[in-house]
Structure formats: structure tokens, C-alpha cells
Structure 1
Amino acid sequence: MHQIEPYYSWKKYYSPETDINSPFYGKEYNYDLYSETIYGYYIDPSWDYMGSETLYIKILFVDYAKHFIIIEFIGEWNDALHNDIMHFKRNIVDHFNPLGIKKYILIGENVLNFHGSDDCYYEEWFEDIDEEMDNGSIGWIAAVNFRDFVLEEWGNYNIDTYINAGGSLQINNWRTLNPQHFFGLVNGLISRRISLT
């Protein structure tokens, strides 16, 4: 686990520790000290703690003008024991929603397991962003590259009602794009899905 780093090539475009609106503004990273663990396994110091013992994040990019954020995850998403969605909703989503962020891209390649509970926080999150913005678009949540068994579990707990995932959102080449192009691709895919419903 300690060898899995968050994607770092977009740091030239955005760093959460230098964004005054970020919950991690001013954070100093010690890349020589591995102190955070998930189930006793050290993780790279670049990952950020958001309240969960088992799920860490990295905000890769935020565009306040276009109302979107890209967040990468590592660990086990455990709503049953640790209520991870509550921590994520209260500490990250509720922080960015008042700043106009209504489009969320979640990257889940390193989410290694999922344990569900109820869907209340997902529903609340969806209701927070399901409104028309000044540009006429509506908010959405897109999950990119989550593992099939995680998506199956989401289906078992009705989470796929609120989060767009699977199919065309398995974008293996996302790292070859800059964040604006990646958002454009995902936004187009979600727009097509919405128009078909």
C-alpha cells in the first residue's frame, strides 16, 4: 500500500495545500515519514485524512468557475463500521458545496473493498447538487474506474441511484489527459446519460 501514490502530474495545475478554499490549505507534507496507516499498512504521505480510519483521499483538481472537483481515493470504503460516507459528506462535500462545486469526479482504482449501510448520506449529497446552475447545467456525481465488485455492492445498497458509474466511465487513459480535458470527457458522458433518462 505504501507504494501507491495519488496521481501527481496535475500538481502543476492544482495543489490543495496552496488553495485557500481547500480544507487542506496550509498542510505541510513530510515525504520522509510514513505515519498514516490503513489496517496496519502504511500509505504514502501524500494521501489526506478526511476523518475515516480506512479511506483516504487526494483532491487532484478543483475548478470553481466550472463547478467541478476531481478526487482520488485509497483504501476500504466502509459505511457499515466507520460510516465513511458521513465523513466524506461532512468534511469534504459540505465544505465545497457552498463554494459552488456541484460536479464530483471520484476516482476509485485504489478502493479495494466496500461495505455498505444505508443510502441516506448519498441521497442528501445528490439533493445538494441536483439543481440548475447559472450555466443551465445540473450537478452530478461520477465514479471513474471503481472495481466491478464495488459497483455491484453499490447496486445492492441503492447507491447507484445517486452516483453515475460503470460502462463508459471506466476510463483507463484518464492520466493521459489534463484535468480540463478529463472533466470535458466525463461531463459529456454524464450529459448523454442524463439526456437518455
Structure 2
Amino acid sequence: MKHLSLAELIRERRSIRKCNSTAVEQELVVELLHRAARLQPIVEAGSWRVVYAGTPEARKRLVDCMLQQVSQSKLGKLIPGKLLDVFKKRVTDIPAHVIVMSNAGQDRLTNDRNYAAACEMMQSLQLLGWERGLGMLWDTESMIQNEGFFKGIGLREHERFVGILHIGYYDKVPRSRKRTPAEQKWTVLRGQAT
């Protein structure tokens, strides 16, 4: 893969929803996690942690945790079994998953900083992975955010679920989507109160 500047890397990285079957070595994920952690400014040790699901058994357990609450709900009972099977296959076919949790902290500021550190690490991990030909999708679907899922992934007391990075090699890079110009997100604070 060609060497990209940081600006090019950020601009060219894509969310990858379709991975091929090439295995993602656990050692590579650990190396990228170490590199992503070193890119962070000094943060309190233990501000975030990850759970890795990279074996077929772990991926099956993860998808079972993801669907546990859905399949037991009234709405979930209306979902055709074939649709659930497609979802299960899609998740279990992804070679690796990194589940990220942040330490909740004892006050709002610490909680927010820890959450931001976890998000920063996830973004850095995606960029570092992209350099190595790995695609990722950051998943925070509301349907999985429930007590059954949290228990299944081992979320501890005083931790906050941040998201799952689904990781795999890809065959085709999706087209870029239209981006919102920065000017549309821009507001100038004036000197006088309104």
C-alpha cells in the first residue's frame, strides 16, 4: 500500500461494511492498539479497555449477545428467522471485533475525558488499520445497547460501552460520501449577549 500523508489518510479512509474472509491476526490488532494508545496525549491509565472477539467461537458469542435482547422482545419475535440468520452470518463472517469500554469516572469531567480518550483511540486504530489494508466499521447500534449485551461482553460496574469496531480486510473501497462543508458547522460567538 502506498504511503499517505495524514491528511490523505483521513480523507481516504472509509467505513467498511463488507470484509473478505482473510484472517486478521490478533497480534496485528494488539500492535495497532499499542500504536493507537501511544498517539494519545497523556490520559489516566485504565481510562478505557477492549475485549477482542477474533475466533469463530468468540464471534458467535458476540452475535448471540448482540441479538439476545432483540430476539426476546415483542418486535424481535416478528423478525423473520431468515433475517436474523443473515445478520448472524454477517457478523460472524467478519474476522475480528474490538469492543471498547471507557471507565465511567467519578465525576462528569473525568467520565467525558475517558469516553473521549476511548473514541480517540478508536479513530486512531481505524486510521492505523487503514494504512495496513484493514477496514473497520464503528458500531454503536441502539438495538445492542441493553443489559443483556453489556453482561455478555463483560461490561464492568463503572464502565461505559463506547462501541464495537468490526475489523477485516476488504476487496473494494467504497466511494466517498458527500461531506458537510465545515462552514455549515461554523458559528461565531459575538462579544455581546443577545
Flag whether TM exceeds 0.5 (same fold): no
Structure (1/2) with the larger helix percentage? 2
TM-score (norm 2): 0.24
> Comparing both chains, which one has the higher relative contact order based on Cα–Cα distances under 8 Å and sequence gaps of 6 or more?
2
The structure with the largest alpha-carbon Rg is: 2
